[in-house]
A and B are shown apart, each in its own frame.
Chain A
């Protein structure tokens, strides 16, 4: 299946959010995304997949398939899970180069910038960093093969 370029997916999300005229709608949508996020099997919920943050626990794992990075994640907090779901939607299934180049501007555009603040770092900031770390690792793996 052909995946849309990252900027296109970001644009779709920003357009979706533009339809919400209250914070309630916006958060209900994120909560819903959180609940619908594909289950992360217990075998991946291990210490080394944990992204340590201040408040909630986030597990993130990645695999490399046909030159594309596939992310899977989970959290014990549903809003964080919803935010993760968006990150996965944007970044998963792309090449390491594409992931590393992603600016992730949509987060600010949908008014979720506060989730990037240090206190809620495991919400997004640490997640993005970890996703890019995976991308970088796979890129290096690829480069050595060449």
Chain B
């Protein structure tokens, strides 16, 4: 199946915005959903909605099976050794917070160091900042080079015996840079540090194999992989997850509760307190199956073509500078245009039915690094087509003319 042939399966792509056909280039923020995912949600609520794991009736059993099947699908999607290593969360942000609050509380002490990079999303900065403040630990930042790659030499100099955690983004949401995470993980392990990979942007584009990467934690969000919002997953190595303290207390995560003492459930339930997001988790499996059926190779090939085409077309616009020109990039272009503010461009493009992201993309330190208030970002998905990039280019030319 060719990626583009799947376009009709995304009903939203058929709508118009301000009277023009929608051009959706905000896929790095959230991808659109195929009909099968939308149907999976409806089917759950209209056929087997029930609370899972506890009920003995048919509906509860069907829901439990579907929910747990999603866990196997995630295991397969990221190449985890065991299904117990997959914990469902609300998304990447919650997954990172879970690690910072549990593993972090137990393993980070005063004077210890946590290494992040200069291109992190606020979600992979703030939880570590909170932890550092509480523990009087030190946050170290890997510098970003002018081309949008990480300064790997500086990174290696940051590592030391005090480094307890290296938390880096796999693919930058602002620049599109694919970071050499395997090399980062190996170097961090040499000094005995653990590594968390923020896979929010990478999971949809790259083949993920957490065993091959040898990362200790990996987090991603469902809504960026053609799945629903409100569900994501945390992968953690089993021995680490077993030792970590619990995150939230409540139902599901317990084995036995007495007023004197509570014993906790086994993995992965230990970290899933309360009734989980059953419907969205089940539909996440549908999304992952959908990706698997098309094949990430096919998706990537198509998206790479779009990226190459967009990069060439955008570069031809006078005064336009692409922010992030790493050798290894995925499916997004971030840029600024001389004499214009990203927000003005975004407002005008919106009137032409073109959805792009403008602003700091929740990476304010990175924007500061490049000395810009923000960028215009066009990010592509499997259903986007070259003709849409032509629409964007024409739209940009029009916007520039209007603003001149």
Could you tell me which A residues sit within 8 Å of B by CB distance?
A: 23-24, 27-28, 31, 54-57, 76-80, 120
Q: Is the CB of B343 within 8 A of A55?
A: yes
Cβ contact of A78, chosen from B341, B351, B358, B373, cutoff 8 A: B341
**A23-B18, A78-B341, A79-B347 given; A55·B402 CB < 8 A:** no
B373-404 interface code vs A (CB 8 A; 1 in, 0 out): 11000000000000000000000000000110
Count A-B pairs with CB separation below 8 Å: 41
Q: What is the CB-to-nearest-CB distance from A84 to chain B, in angstroms, rounded to a whole number?
A: 13
**Residue among B359, B360, B403 with the highest chain A CB neighbour number at 10 A:** B403
Cβ contact of B342, chosen from A27, A31, A55, A120, cutoff 8 A: A55
Interface residues of B in 329-366 (CB under 8 A from A): 340-344, 346-348, 351, 358-360
**A31-B402, A76-B373, A77-B341 given; A55·B358 CB < 8 A:** yes
In the bound complex, CA of A24 to CA of B340 (Å): 17
B190-226 interface code vs A (CB 8 A; 1 in, 0 out): 0000000000000000000000000000000000000
Q: What is the CB-to-nearest-CB distance from B17 to chain A, in angstroms, rounded to a whole number?
A: 11
Q: Is the CB of B373 within 8 A of A56?
A: yes
In the bound complex, CA of A32 to CA of B377 (Å): 26
Q: What is the CB-to-nearest-CB distance from A20 to chain B, in angstroms, rounded to a whole number?
A: 12
B227-256 interface code vs A (CB 8 A; 1 in, 0 out): 000000000000000000000000000000
Cβ contact of B351, chosen from A23, A55, A56, cutoff 8 A: A23
Q: What is the CB-to-nearest-CB distance from A80 to chain B, in angstroms, rounded to a whole number?
A: 7
The residues of A that contact B348 with a CB separation of less than 8 Å are 27, 79
The residues of B that contact A55 with a CB separation of less than 8 Å are 342-343, 346, 358-360, 373-374
Could you tell me which B residues sit within 8 Å of A by CB distance?
A: 18, 340-344, 346-348, 351, 358-360, 373-374, 402-403
**Residue among A24, A28, A57, A78 with the highest chain B CB neighbour number at 10 A:** A78
The residues of B that contact A54 with a CB separation of less than 8 Å are 359
Q: What is the CB-to-nearest-CB distance from A95 to chain B, in angstroms, rounded to a whole number?
A: 33
The residues of A that contact B18 with a CB separation of less than 8 Å are 23
**Taking chain A's interface residues, is the majority helix, strand, or loop, or is none over half, making it mixed?**
helix
**A55-B359, A78-B403 given; A27·B351 CB < 8 A:** yes
Cβ contact of A57, chosen from B346, B373, B402, B403, cutoff 8 A: B373
28 contacts between A and B (CB under 8 A): A23-B18, A23-B351, A24-B351, A24-B402, A27-B347, A27-B351, A27-B402, A28-B402, A31-B344, A31-B403, A55-B343, A55-B346, A55-B358, A55-B360, A55-B373, A56-B341, A56-B373, A57-B373, A77-B341, A77-B343, A77-B344, A78-B340, A78-B341, A78-B403, A79-B344, A79-B347, A80-B343, A120-B343
Q: What is the CB-to-nearest-CB distance from B247 to chain A, in angstroms, rounded to a whole number?
A: 30
The residues of B that contact A78 with a CB separation of less than 8 Å are 340-341, 344, 403
The residues of B that contact A80 with a CB separation of less than 8 Å are 343-344
Closest to A24 in B: B402
In the bound complex, CA of A77 to CA of B402 (Å): 13
Cβ contact of A79, chosen from B343, B359, B373, cutoff 8 A: B343
**A23-B351, A27-B348 given; A56·B402 CB < 8 A:** no
Closest to A23 in B: B351
In the bound complex, CA of A55 to CA of B373 (Å): 8
Q: What is the CB-to-nearest-CB distance from B140 to chain A, in angstroms, rounded to a whole number?
A: 28
Q: What is the CB-to-nearest-CB distance from A45 to chain B, in angstroms, rounded to a whole number?
A: 14
The residues of B that contact A28 with a CB separation of less than 8 Å are 402
In the bound complex, CA of A31 to CA of B345 (Å): 12
In the bound complex, CA of A78 to CA of B344 (Å): 7
Q: What is the CB-to-nearest-CB distance from A76 to chain B, in angstroms, rounded to a whole number?
A: 6
The residues of A that contact B359 with a CB separation of less than 8 Å are 54-55
Q: What is the CB-to-nearest-CB distance from B322 to chain A, in angstroms, rounded to a whole number?
A: 20
Closest to A114 in B: B350
Q: Is the CB of A76 within 8 A of B341?
A: yes
Q: What is the CB-to-nearest-CB distance from B26 to chain A, in angstroms, rounded to a whole number?
A: 12
In the bound complex, CA of A84 to CA of B117 (Å): 38
In the bound complex, CA of A57 to CA of B351 (Å): 22
Known contacts A57-B373, A78-B341, A79-B347; 10 further A-B pairs (Cβ under 8 A): A23-B18, A27-B347, A27-B351, A31-B344, A31-B402, A56-B341, A76-B341, A76-B373, A77-B341, A78-B403
